Chains A and B, each alone.
Chain A
Amino acid sequence: GDSVTQMEGPVTLSEEAFLTINCTYTATGYPSLFWYVQYPGEGLQLLLKATKADDKGSNKGFEATYRKETTSFHLEKGSVQVSDSAVYFCALKIGTYKYIFGTGTRLKVLA
């Protein structure tokens, strides 16, 4: 069935380090792909998205490229900040309404 697999956390980095959070998916058809971020005590917020193969989504220094050949949508940021500490969710959308979320990866950035 359709699914999303994220790397286990937590991920702990020093400020200004390079970030990669891996995400792979299994889906029938042609899904849209998303990264959501959840800050402590808040709901999930859209970080970026891509709707077709080779699209790159980007926002706030984060980026992810829709790789159909490897069924991946890895999240990257060149230089993380303490304020990036949060839980990051990879998700896919199939059709009109079917959203599938990964289990989330907690990121902790140390000053």
Chain B
Amino acid sequence: DAGVIQSPRHEVTEMGQEVTLRCKPISGHDYLFWYRQTMMRGLELLIYFNNNVPIDDSGMPEDRFSAKMPNASFSTLKIQPSEPRDSAVYFCASSESQGLGNTIYFGEGSWLTVV
């Protein structure tokens, strides 16, 4: 089975531009997570969805960030306008809800540089 698929893998953009990151979770998984990874702050949970509904967005840094999940197989994370401090690796991950030891599966990440 295909894993979590993210695009683009790498993006370099200018400050002020809109950035859209895309994610396709593993089929059948009903939880989807967006994480951000930086050297300074490590791995931070930004938002997560259950059955396409945003459940907790308390980790979204500010109003410039928004996330959507229009259907079970697609999600986007948008930054508008982007700033240099948004430079980071953004990971999408998914998991099933059943069972205690359910694993969270990560995509390969979108490496964002804002100049």
Chain A interface (Cβ < 8 Å from any Cβ of B): 30, 32, 34, 36, 42-46, 49-52, 89, 93, 96-97, 99, 101, 103-104
Contact = CB atoms under 8 A, between A and B. Distances in A.
A99 B104 contact: yes
B109 A96 contact: no
Contacts of B91: 43-44
B103 interface: yes
Interface in B88-115: 91, 93, 95, 97, 100-109
Interface in B59-115: 91, 93, 95, 97, 100-109
A42 B89 CA distance: 10
B102 A93 contact: yes
Contacts of B33: 99
A14 B113 CA distance: 35
B97 A96 contact: yes
Interface string B17-52: 000000000000001010000000011010010100
A103 B43 CA distance: 7
Contacts of B95: 97
